[in-house]
Amino acid sequence: MDNWLKTSVLMAAIVALFMVIGGMLGGKSGMLLALLFGGGMNVWAWWNSDQMVLRMYNAQEVDAQSAPEFYGLVAELAQRAGLPMPRVYVIHEEQPNAFATGRDPEHAAVAATAGIMRLLDYRELRGVMAHELAHVQHRDTLLSTVSATMAGAISALANFAMFFGGRDENGQPVGLLPRLAVALLAPMAASLIQMAISRAREFEADRGGAAISGDPLALASALQKIEHYAQGIAMPSAEAHPETAQMMIINPLSGAGSMAGLFRTHPETAERIARLHDIARGVG
């Protein structure tokens, strides 16, 4: 519940930031237009996000005939979680990673790389896919889409304010320095908020995945292996679309391990593993 409260506060902050930029562009009318613009973008992203992301990664759909073990694993976990069967995809990338997408549990998809299926044993892969189904169960796939879309819209509006200016509540043109500050700081603030939302949701998905699989130590073991190998193997699809990094079970971007805490899309893997061991011991 603490993480849900934190997520709600962060989402409110990103909406407030959106409204501040809209107000700078045109007072109260600008705020309203900014919200309408953001709402339209979110409706489009909500409806199209799953296919859009899967195309970015050239994901290939599989079924019980083409990938019986992997498909059966997901089917068993979906049944345990009380979820509709998601569509199942394989990404032909060597980096070990996985993600979930879709606007709701009835339109969800889960995807795993060929690399993660080669690296992990059955029990560990089961722990990873339980984590992804927990994202579906918690509707994090929608939340990540909304936060990413809002962050992108804030950057677009900030650039618009920089180059085309705006007017304050009294109809006076906004000066260059305030516009420059908004253009530089607003996208950074939006990204920081988006990353904080992502970190909070990862902890909840770890906890939810442990409950779905009934085996928290399997996910802990998988995270340890993935962390060890992922940073040494590039993922070109993720590098081409860095805004999708927050969706992965481990940050797929090169140099991710050197990021400062605020700029992490994911919590420290060591902390995630420690929490999973606490769950296995019945602590917290």
Which pLDDT belongs to residue 51?
Answer: 82
Q: Which of 93, 132, 204, 227 is catalytic?
A: 132
Picking from 153, 145, 149, 152, the residue whose alpha carbon sits closest to that of residue 34 is 153
Q: Which residues of the chain have pLDDT under 70?
A: 1-15, 17-18, 21-35, 37-46, 48-49, 145-191, 193-194, 196-197, 255-264, 283-284
For 164, other C-beta atoms within 10 Å of its C-beta total: 9
Contact 207, 279 (CB under 8 A): yes
Which pLDDT belongs to residue 134?
Answer: 97
Distances (CA, A) of 42 to 37, 66, 103, 148, 207: 9, 34, 11, 9, 28
Which distant-in-sequence residues (6+ apart) come within 8 Å of 121 by Cβ? Answer: none
Which pLDDT belongs to residue 145?
Answer: 65
Active site annotation includes 239: no
Which pLDDT belongs to residue 257?
Answer: 47
Contact 42, 14 (CB under 8 A): no
Q: Cα 137 from chain centroid?
A: 14
What is the widest separation between alpha-carbon atoms in the chain?
66
Instruction: Express each pLDDT in 62-79 by its tens digit.
Output: 999 999 999 999 999 999
Which distant-in-sequence residues (6+ apart) come within 8 Å of 127 by Cβ? Answer: 209, 210, 213, 215, 216, 218, 219, 220, 221, 222
Which pLDDT belongs to residue 64?
Answer: 97
Distances (CA, A) of 36 to 40, 43, 124: 6, 11, 44
Query: Which tokens in the block code for residue 1?
Result: 């519940």
